[in-house]
Amino acid sequence: MHFEGSTSVTLLFDFWDVHGPAGMVLSVFVVLLLTVFYELLKVWKITLEKQKQSHIAHPSNLDSFTPGHSCLAPVMSCQDGNSALVSSPSEISLAPSENTLDIAGSTSTAKSWLYHSLQTAVHMLQVTLGYMLMLCVMSYNIWIFLGVIIGSVLGYFLAFPLLKHI
C-alpha cells in the first residue's frame, strides 16, 4: 500500500464516496474539523478529571476559607492587664452534625458517579472518533492524511492553552 493523491476515495461508509476536487476539499475540511474536535475532547476529559479531583479534595463548599486564617482559633483580648477570650464560636459548634455528614456524603457520591459517567461518555466518544480518524488515514489518500495531521496540529494549538485557565 502507498499514499495516492487522487480525488476519488470512499471514506468510512459507502455513502461517503468522494469523486472530484470539490468533494475532496469538503471531505478534507470535515476530517479536519473532526480531528480538531478530537483534540478538544482530550482537553475536556482532562478538565473533567481536574474538576472531579477538586470536588473530592474539597467536598464541602469552603470557598470562603482562606489558608493561614483559622476560624477555630479563639481570639485573646488584653484589657487592663487581664486576658479574656472574646466571644468566638467554639470548635464543637462549628463541627458538622452526623446528619449533615450523611447528606454531604451522599451528595458527594452522587456527584462522583455523575463525573465518572460523564468521563466515560467522553472517553467512549474520544475512542470512537479516534478509530474513525485512523480509518480515514488508512484510505491512503494524501489529502485526507494531511487533513488529519493539520486538524490535529490546529486542535492542539487551540485546545491545550485552555488547560492553563482551568
The predicted pLDDT at position 75 comes to: 41
User: What is the pLDDT averaged over residues 23-37?
Assistant: 96
Cα 56 from Cα 48, distance rounded (Å): 12
User: What is the pLDDT averaged over residues 73-96?
Assistant: 47
Helical spans, DSSP H, in 61-141: 91-94, 98-137
Torsional class of 61: left (φ above 0), alpha (ψ -120 to 50), beta (otherwise): beta
* Cβ–Cβ under 8 Å, residues 31 and 133: yes
Tell me the pLDDT band of 33, cut-offs 50, 70 and 90.
very high
Cα 35 from Cα 1, distance rounded (Å): 24
The DSSP output letter for 82 is: E
